[in-house]
Amino acid sequence: MQPLATPRALQKQITASPWFGAVLAFLALYVFLVAVHGLGGGFKSLGGGLLEGFFRATTNPFLGLIIGLLTTTIVQSSSVTTSLIVAMVAAPENPLPIANAVPMVMGANIGTTVTNTIVSLAHMGRPDEFRRAFAVATCHDFFNFFSVLILLPLELGTGYLQKSATWIASELAGSVEGVHYHSPIKAAIKAGAKPLHAFAAFISDSTHVQAILTITICGVLIYASLLTLVRLMRTLLREKVEAAVSRALDRNPVFAMLIGLVVTAIIQSSSITTSLLVPLGGAGIITLAQAFPVTIGANIGTTVTALLASLAVTGENATAGVAIALVHLLFNLSGTVLIYPAPQIRRLPLAAARLLAEVAGRNRVLALAYVGGLFYLLPMVLAALNH
Amino acid sequence: MLQELLSIFRAESPLQKMASNFSEMLTISRELVEKAGEAFFKHSISPEERTALQKKDVRVNKLERRIRKQVIFHLSIDGKTPDLPYCLLLMSLVKDVERIGDYAKELATLADLPCGTFPEGALFDELKEIRAGVEADYRSAVEVVQAADRERAVELIHCGRDTVERCEQLIQRIAQSDHTAGEAVILTLGTRFYQRIAGHVLNLLSSVVVPLHKLDYYDEKDIAKAEKKLGG
């Protein structure tokens, strides 16, 4: 076996031996679950004092939205953000209230759309191509904008997402009530988290320092393991992803949505799925209308990661962790049901994407301003002002 | 829908798909050339035959667009550098095969041309031989391209160049002949179409022998190099 000195060498190894890649993927998934579990323990040890300020800030739903958005645009992954949120909500002590977490999840949904918009900027040198690519990229943005515009006020007024998700999570937990089942997966995850806590204890005697160290290490592990998992799955399923996306674009919208969902759920990244569509749109191979249902499917498929993360949480707030993961799923399903079926409503995000692309196509500096301003500068300014 | 989803995981690779579409394109265009030749030399074409030829031509054109789309799709999504030369090659070759189909279709339309008397004689017999040569060369070229048989490709390139030259000389002789205007038009157009078909077959063969950036060109040095490598 050749030394795995470089990512390219690793990629070659995986292509030559898919089983090796599959084993690595399981390992990455295991590390991810251990890190999510460990994060909960870290928050438990941190104590209420330090987190109080954060929790107080997130009682403002607008600020919660911005925090979710900014975190996602910085780490370039809604999966990382939602996994962190699941861990915080499910923390055995000092959990983040679900009500505070809901807008953060919505913000994460918006933040993840920046990646494919950035990808579309590569086409800036050729105006027509750029217009098409930018429209395909930003239809994702506008879908999420419209979803949040409608559903956040609805949630604040009725709490329907939180209530439905909590009910479903309770039902799922209640279905094994009275049956004492010691999950081998959870046992393995707990065992994996022990070295983390042991390491933190070895570094410092201070509980606070241990907590901060644990949180930092787990945060990094969540990011690294998800990144690794995404790359592995992409390498392993490269041709199948291409075949799937190709098939999706020739069929009816429901099938296209299903493909977007399945591909994203498997490779664990909506950004990859939606970014694949951007150069195709730029080349004129696909229309905006063809790309849209795949994008929506990807939006739903990315909720799988938070659901996976909720598998790793234990303790009295574990159900809350499952609930917030379900909120992510229900939010995206609600947005789909609200926006896609009626042609008059479905046209809105597409028209907005086309208009923005037309404007950005004439003055490409505006495209840069849109990405930098809306996804980074504005949220930072608003967060600072609110603080 | 579930079946369809599962079938994606059993789907052939993108390059295999492109290759099988190209293979189909070659087969159909070869049939088109042969059927068109039959119609031309019979000097008649039934409505059913005309429809069948048109359908084949439409199919060839559709396959060209499909392969181009697959190439752009594959390069946009996967972007693997090793696949790039093959993909660029396909983009060029499908054009040649589509043109062969077009010329074959045009050849068949000559069967309906109201020329009065249909040509006969030595020049027409010469054209018959050219037809036999072009069809045989194209049949062989299809196998050679699919098998990447360099030795056979070099042989066929020599034959093909002779055919192109022969067509050129035939046109000169037609211009100096006593044929009526109608007969001369039929002979000249028929010769020209076979010449163009032979030219595009040469382009296909060049893909087996010369490097990608020299496609469609017949650098004597490259042909000689290929012959030398083959020990010829």
Which of A37-46, B115-124, B183-192 is the most confident on average? B183-192
Taking contacts as CB-CB distances below 8 angstroms, the residues of chain B near A280 are 72-73, 76-77
Report chain B residues whose CB lies below 8 A from the CB of A276: 76-77
Question: Residue A149: its pLDDT value, please?
Answer: 94
Q: How far is B8 from chain A (nearest CA, A)?
A: 6
User: How many residues in total does chain A contain?
Assistant: 387
Higher-pLDDT residue of A167 and B211 is: A167
Domains, chain B, in order of start with CATH, read 2-231 (1.20.58.220)
User: What is the mean predicted confidence (pLDDT) over B173-199?
Assistant: 92
Q: Which of B21, B66, B72, B73 to mutate to test the interface with A (most CBs of A within 10 A)?
A: B73
- A368's CB contacts (< 8 A; 6+ apart) are A121
A108: buried, middle or exposed (CB in 10 Å: 19+, 13-18, 0-12)? Answer: buried
Q: Which of A242, A245, A255 sits opposite B1 (nearest CB)?
A: A255
Decide if B181 touches A, using CB distance below 8 A: no
Residues of chain A scoring pLDDT < 70: 1-16, 47-51, 174-183, 387
| Chain A nearest CA to B62, separation (Å) | 15
Whether B74 sits inside 8 A of A251 (CB atoms) is no
Tokens at B215, concatenated = 């496609």
Give DSSP secondary structure letters for chain B.
Answer: -HHHHHHHHTPPPHHHHHHHHHHHHHHHHHHHHHHHHHHHHHT---HHHHHHHHHHHHHHHHHHHHHHHHHHHHHHHT--GGGHHHHHHHHHHHHHHHHHHHHHHHHHHGGG---SSPP-SHHHHHHHHHHHHHHHHHHHHHHHHHHT-HHHHHHHHHHHHHHHHHHHHHHHHHHTS---HHHHHHHHHHHHHHHHHHHHHHHHHHHHHS-GGGTT---HHHHHHHHHHTT-
Contact B76 A247 (CB under 8 A): no
Residue of A nearest to B70 (CA): A246
Task: Return the higher-pLDDT residue of A332 and B115.
Answer: A332
Nearest CA in chain B to A246: B73
Task: Give the count of beta carbons closer than 10 Å to the beta carbon of residue B99.
Answer: 18
Q: Is the pLDDT score of B190 beyond 90?
A: yes
pLDDT in tens, A164-215: 999 999 888 765 444 445 667 778 888 888 888 888 888 888 888 888 898 8
pLDDT computed for residue B5 by the predictor: 66
Cα distances (angstroms) measured from residue A184 to each of A176, A306, A317: 15, 20, 20
Given this model, what pLDDT does residue A342 score? 92
**pLDDT on residue B99:** 96
Q: Which residues contact A23 (CB under 8 A, 6 or more apart)?
A: none
Give the pLDDT of residue A5: 44
> Which chain A positions have a beta carbon within 8 Å of B73's beta carbon?
242, 246, 280, 285
Single-letter amino acid, residue A209: V
What pLDDT does residue A64 have?
A: 92
Q: Number of A to B CB contacts under 8 A, please give it.
A: 48
B1 to A259: CB separation less than 8 angstroms, yes or no: no
Contact A247 B1 (CB under 8 A): no
For residue A258, the chain B residue with the least C-alpha distance is: B5
Whole-angstrom Cα distance, residue B70 to residue B9? Answer: 18
Burial of B110 (C-beta count, 10 Å sphere; 0-12/13-18/19+): buried
Query: Are B107 and B168 in contact, with CB atoms under 8 Å apart?
Result: no
Q: How far is A201 from chain B (nearest CA, A)?
A: 46
pLDDT at A50 (0 to 100): 64
Q: What is the nearest CA distance from A253 to chain B, expressed in angstroms? A: 12
Would you tell me the crossing angle of helices B2-9 and A238-250 to the nearest 10 degrees? 140
CA distance B140 to B143: 5
- The 10s digit of each residue's pLDDT in B22-65 is 999 999 999 999 999 999 998 888 999 999 999 999 999 999 99
Q: Which of B4, B9, B76 sits opposite A240 (nearest CB)?
A: B9
Chain A residues in contact with B16 (beta carbon < 8 A): none
Residues of chain B with C-beta less than 8 angstroms from the C-beta of A243:
8, 11, 14
Q: What is the DSSP letter of A123?
A: G
- For residue A363, give the DSSP letter: -
Residue keyed to tokens 């027409």:
B124
A240 and B11 within 8 Å at the Cβ level: the answer is yes
Sign of CA dihedral A36, A67, A54, A57: negative
Q: Is B2 on the interface with A (CB under 8 A)?
A: no
- Tell me the angle at which helices A288-301 and A343-362 cross, rounded to the nearest 10 degrees: 110
Nearest CA in chain B to A273: B77
A285 → closest Cβ in B11, B72, B78: B72
Q: Which residues of chain B neighbour A259 with C-beta distances below 8 Å?
A: 5, 8
pLDDT for res A312: 84
- Closest-CA residue of A relative to B13 is A239
Q: Which residues are within 8 A (CB) of B215 and not within 5 positions of it... i.e. 6 or more apart? A: B89, B92, B203, B206, B207
Contacts of A111 (CB under 8 A, 6+ apart): A68, A69, A70, A71, A72, A73, A78, A81, A375
Structure confidence at residue A176 (pLDDT): 46
Q: What is the pLDDT of residues B149-182, one digit of tens each?
A: 888 998 999 999 999 999 999 999 999 988 888 8
Of B5, B9, B77, nearest to A242 by CB-CB distance is B77
For chain A, say whether B6 makes contact (Cβ under 8 Å).
no
Contact B164, B199 (CB under 8 A): yes
B20 touches chain A (CB under 8 A): no
> How far is B57 from chain A, CA to nearest CA, in Å?
23
Q: Pick from A136, A239, A250 the residue to mutate for testing the B interface (most B CBs within 10 Å).
A: A239
Average of per-residue pLDDT across B70-76? 89
How many residues appear in chain B? 232
Q: How far apart are CA A113 and CA A277, in angstroms?
A: 13
More confident residue, B129 or B77: B129
> In this predicted structure, what is the pLDDT of residue B217?
74
**pLDDT recorded at residue A212:** 87
Is the complex ipTM more than 0.90?
no
Q: List Cβ neighbours of A306 (8 Å cut-off, separation of 6 or more).
A: A79, A82, A83, A85, A86, A105, A324, A325, A328, A329
CA distance B184 to chain A (A): 46
CA distance to A109, A165, A213, A223, B221, per residue, from A82 (Å) = 9, 15, 20, 11, 63
